[in-house]
Chains A and B, each alone.
Chain A
Amino acid sequence: MVKSTYQPSSSALPPLPPGWTEHIAPTGHKYYYNAETKESTYKRPGVTPTPPPPPPAAVPAAPVAVPGALPTAMPAAVPAIGPAAVPVSGYVPPLSTLNLSDPAVANAFMAQYRAQSQPQQLFGGAKPVEKPQPKPRPQPKDKPKSKVAIPGCEPWVLVYTKYGRRFVYNPVKNASYWRIPEKLMPAILEMDKERIRKKAEGDQEGGKKEEEEEKEKETSRAPEDSKQSEKRKESEAPSEQPPQRDYDSSEYEEVEVTDDEDEAADQQDQSGPPEFTEADIATQLALMNAEYGEQGDYEAGEEGQWEEGDEGLPLSEEDARALFKDLLNDFHINPYSPWEKLMEEGKIFDDARYTVLPTTKARKEVWEEWSREKIAQLKEQRAKQEKQDPRIAFLAFLQEKATPKLYWPEFKRKYRKEGPMRDTSLSDKEREKFYREHINRLKMPQSQLKTDLKKLLQSVPLSQLNNQTLSSHLPSQVLADIRYISLPPEVRDPLIEAYIKELGPPPEASENAEDEAARQAREERRKRHEKALQERERAVAEEKKRQERKLQIERERLREEERELERAMHVSKKGLQTQLLGDQMVKEDREKMETD
């Protein structure tokens, strides 16, 4: 990928004469103003009346163009010229007649270019046409920087220029070409690969990317293209280059240059080939990587692979899912939130792991799974956590914030967004009660508060509060009491610590005591049980007696009747007479007795 070699000429321009200042018009043009003479001009005033320096290489003679205005006025047009015009049609438009500073012309040109250029997957900067032009002085000059002999094609050498472009040169025929001849193509590709492989150890990621490029190139590019990628002008500040990635994405520059144009450069090259060190390559690769990072227009899935996969292998489904879940975890996504919220916020879009999954549908699926797991996890956690008395948190909050200066409604309004104030497990009424009581207690004398605290501490059984209790882990019985927060902590804490020290060890007997109580309770229960039993027995016995008596009486009666029957059955021979007589006699007897 080659950066434009175009440089805004301002750096090369002579400094402005005193009194002149440079400004940028709302249209983006630069103009110059002299405060003393109140004169303003588009033309750059010079100390000597030199003609305005010619615009950059691509537009050698732009009649109206103000130097320096070009990059802002039509940034896209410049870089597009070369690759468009030259290789595709083979027709080199007379650039000198093409005034690209005119937007209309530029647009027309662009339209023509786009129609011709094939859609390419590669990314990268567009190539500006950059012909080494010997003549105009302030022109940025591309110089040969290093040369490499092309193995297998002996007389030919591959020359790298200062700006990272390269051409082939045949010293025997004294011919040089930007476009690499077909016969040299395989050898040069071989060289590129070799170099990349060497680089790969030092800079894995970069190497990978280049290999990727290489592959794509080999499949998609026409063989006559020459590679122009890795080198780049380091000194070029990004602000100085016109935005140039829009139209062309080729890696290989497709510019043909005639020999004589190049000759000067070649001679320079031969005279002294500068060192081109490993470090240079490294920095350029780093630059290139940065460039890749900036560009977002390549396939989404690949980035993740580069990030994570060691060898650039596609991630397995599970890995991708795990990665995406990791991403969700890292961004602390609320598992309860809806998917739409996640998409609207867009926090996770920038992360490389976002793209490990190819489609949004897949992402949503993974997100659903993740949220389900996470929620289950949270539930479990909460179940394990012991329930804390909500009063403790609220009282701690009161101790911190409550002042006698605020009435409850004011206090409530002021802190309505705090957690303890919003906790639904404590009703508002309770809160109010606590607040009022606390405020009232704050007005009481300290001695009173201290005794209250002591009373509170004494009320806690030894099993809960003893000399092994940490002052940071007081029993909730203490913490949830209003008396605990009445004293300021700096007074209260020493008091409590002193009290704890005085206390005995946690009673071993505490268990016994508990047992005792339990036994007592059991005993009591048994006693009660026995008593109840006895009572019942007595009741039963009485009932029995009554029954028996009843039975006897009944039996008596039965016997009586039997006797009577027997008497009735005893009828003698006298028959009824005696019976009747007997009756009579009995009657008489009775009468006698009555008369007596």
Chain B
Amino acid sequence: MPAIRPASKRKPPPDGFSDIEEDLLIFANKMKDAQNTPTDNIPKHQAQWPIFQIAHQRSRYVYELYYQKQAISKQLYDWLLKNGYADAMLIAKWKKQGYEKLCCLRCIQTKETNFNSTCICRVPRAQLKEDQDIQCVNCGCRGCASTD
């Protein structure tokens, strides 16, 4: 692991970071809280749901700022990816047709499932039974098919 440089010796982030700094801080705090909440009394598979959800939200935030609102520069976007503010692999999926709303990468990992299929949350609502409420095991997603 590379040494963590002190703040005084770190390169300053690219321009425009100050605009989004506050919101990123909120996300970071949320994430910390989620990590520190005890998971004793919740089902084991649900323990990581909030982590996934916050990671998704934060990635989505960065993705939208760069690709949809053109609010941040390429340099800043790269810097954010490099510094772990967003999940580059997830964003890569979002750019593909059919994956625009993908909740997490685990939900499309077919090799990890018994029948080599994707997660239930990838099934379009139209193909589910009426009023079938689902919440996927991986990240607690309630449905992330593009057509929903």
Contact = CB atoms under 8 A, between A and B. Distances in A.
A338 B64 CA distance: 9
Contact of A341 (B19, B26, B60): B26
A385 interface: no
Interface in B27-75: 57, 60-61, 64-65, 68-71
A228 interface: no
A61 to B, nearest CB: 50
A428 B57 contact: no
A336 B57 contact: no
Contact of B23 (A338, A375, A427): A338
Given A336-B19, A338-B57, A375 B69 contact: yes
A424 interface: yes
Contact of B57 (A340, A368, A372): A340
For the side of the interface on A, what is the size category?
A: 10 to 19
Contacts of B124: none
A27 interface: no
A425 interface: yes
Interface string A417-436: 00000001101110000000
A371 interface: yes
Contact of A336 (B7, B13, B65, B68): B65
B8 A429 contact: yes
Contact of A372 (B18, B61, B69): B69
A118 interface: no
B16 to A, nearest CB: 9
Contacts of B69: 368, 371-372, 375
A341 B30 CA distance: 12
Contacts of A368: 68-69
A368 B65 CA distance: 11
Interface in B83-140: none
A336 B8 contact: no
Contacts of A375: 69-71
Contacts of A295: none
Contacts of A337: 22-23
A427 B68 CA distance: 33
B62 to A, nearest CB: 10
A424 B7 contact: no
Interface string A365-393: 00010011001100000000000000000
Contacts of A338: 23, 57, 60-61, 64
Nearest to A337: B23
A368 B71 CA distance: 12
B130 to A, nearest CB: 21
Contacts of A372: 68-71
B17 A427 contact: no
Binding site of B, secondary structure by majority: helix, strand, loop or mixed?
Answer: helix
B21 to A, nearest CB: 9
Nearest to A335: B71
A427 B8 contact: yes
A340 B61 CA distance: 10
Nearest to B23: A337
Contact of A424 (B18, B22, B26, B60): B18
B2 interface: no
A424 B7 CA distance: 10
B9 to A, nearest CB: 8
Given A336-B65, A338-B61, A428 B8 contact: yes
Contacts of A341: 23, 26
A24 B52 CA distance: 51
A336 B12 contact: no
A408 to B, nearest CB: 11
B57 A425 contact: no
A372 B66 CA distance: 11
A338 B85 CA distance: 14
Nearest to A340: B57
B71 A336 contact: yes
A429 B8 CA distance: 7
Contacts of B60: 338
Nearest to A428: B8
Contacts of B18: 424
A371 B12 CA distance: 26
Interface in A39-58: none
Nearest to A432: B8
Contacts of A429: 8
A120 B64 CA distance: 44
A424 B57 CA distance: 26
B76 to A, nearest CB: 12
Interchain residue pairs A-B with the least CB separation, the first 8: A424-B12, A428-B8, A375-B71, A338-B61, A336-B19, A372-B69, A336-B20, A337-B23
Given A371-B69, A429-B8, 11 more contacts: A335-B71, A368-B68, A372-B70, A372-B71, A375-B70, A424-B12, A424-B17, A425-B12, A427-B8, A427-B12, A428-B7
24 contacts: A334-B22, A334-B23, A336-B19, A336-B20, A336-B23, A336-B65, A336-B71, A337-B23, A338-B23, A338-B57, A338-B61, A338-B64, A340-B57, A341-B23, A368-B69, A371-B69, A375-B69, A375-B70, A375-B71, A376-B70, A424-B13, A424-B17, A424-B18, A427-B12
